[in-house]
Each structure stands twice: as structure tokens, then as C-alpha cells.
Amino acid sequence: MTRKGGTPRKRRSAGDANRRDALLRVCARLFREKGFDGTTIRDISTAAGMHSGSPFYHFRTKQAMLVAVMEQGLVEGLRKTEAVMALDLAPREKFERMIRAHLDTIFGRGNDFIPVLLYDWRSVTPANRARIIALRDRYDALWQRMVDALCEAGLLRGDRGLLRLLVLGAINWSAKWYRPGGRASLDELARTASELFLRAPARR
């Protein structure tokens, strides 16, 4: 296939897509460990096993890598959260599943995307923030639906918008202190968080 001027159109092969995905995970890991500003293109190239300029075949700038990392985290989080929301479960059980899915986007193997979003947001240029905010708003909307259902079931009480922010804020903070393989599994962490937030069912 060629362009109108006869120049061959550049195609992305499956191998290119796989290399881009692997590079994105390397970027996420390094940004999480060293911060966006503390990570150099040389660091990324070395960790990915590439020549120094090779990352720019997949991304135009380091800023583009950061944006792609954050978008990937939100896309994966959306996919997992939408799957939980589609389940026919009681609000209490669905809430615990939601927390567990969110924890997996933070601590799952190779999933360094969301922590980068949480702690390197100020490194995103204003021109790039709108794309990420649109995805984040979709994610927040799912959690707002969950909080609304819990309030209607009498399991949460208070300002619903604030409740959503407090729940997500507490779960996200676990990225600072939780270490996989420690005293609690992710299942136990999700169960404990759910029990912390939810009120006991009203006695009949």
C-alpha cells in the first residue's frame, strides 16, 4: 500500500506492537522507581535492551512515553472495573471485588502504570492532560456508581462525591506502603478495606 505520492506507507507489524508494549512497561517501571524527571532516555534504552535512539521509533518524546504509561494504566483499570460492574452481585461483595481489581492495577506483575499516574501527574504538560482526564473521569464515574449503590443499600452514608474521593484516596495510598509478599495478600487487603469502609447491615 502506498500514499498518493507513491511513497510506501509505513506499517506497524505485530512485532512492533509487542516491542512497543514491552518498552511501555519498562518506562512505567523506571518512572515508578526513579520518577519521570530522574529517568533518562539512556536508562530506558538500556533497560529495554535497545540502542540509545530506538525508543523514539515508538514514541516521539519522553513526554509521550509518560502520557502513554498513564493512559495504559487507566485503560487496564477501566477494563477490569467494567468487568466487575457487570457482575450480578450484592453491593457489599461487588465493592470488595472493585477494590481487589483496583489493587491489581497497582500491584499486579508488570503493572506500574497507575502509581506513575498518581505520583508523576505534575510532570504531564497541560496540553496532554485533557486526554488523561477524559479516561480518569470514566474511571471515576464507575466508582461513583458503586458508591451510589452502597449508599442506597445503607452501607455508606455521607456526601457521595466525598465518599468516592476518600475511598479511592485510601486505596491509592497503599502504593506507598504495601509490599506484595508481606503480612497480607491482596485478597486480604481488599477484604479489610471493604470492612473498614462499610457499615454493618441494619438489624431487622
Greater confidence, 16 or 147?
147
CB 165 within 8 A of CB 174: no
pLDDT of 51 strictly over 70 = yes
Q: What is the CATH number of domain 62-197?
A: 1.10.357.10
pLDDT tens for each residue of 155-203: 999 999 999 999 999 999 998 898 888 888 999 999 999 999 997 654 4
User: Residue range 107-115: average pLDDT?
Assistant: 80
Cell numbers given for 57: 521509533
Q: What is the pLDDT of residue 98?
A: 96
Give the global pTM.
0.80
Q: How is the chain split into domains, by residue range?
A: 62-197
CA within 13 Å, CB half, 155: 18
Cell numbers standing for residue 70 = 498513564
Q: Which of 23-27, 55-59, 79-83 has the lowest mean pLDDT?
A: 55-59
pLDDT band with cut points at 50, 70 and 90 for residue 9: very low
The pLDDT of residue 169:
93
SS (H, E, C) the chain: CECCCCCECCCCCHHHHHHHHHHHHHHHHHHHHHCCCCCCHHHHHHHHCCCCCCHHHHCCCHHHHHHHHHHHHHHHHHHHHHHHHCCCCCHHHHHHHHHHHHHHHHHCCCCCHHHHHHHCHHHCCHHHHHHHHHHHHHHHHHHHHHHHHHHHCCCCCCCHHHHHHHHHHHHHHHHHHCCCCCCCCHHHHHHHHHHHHCCCCCCC
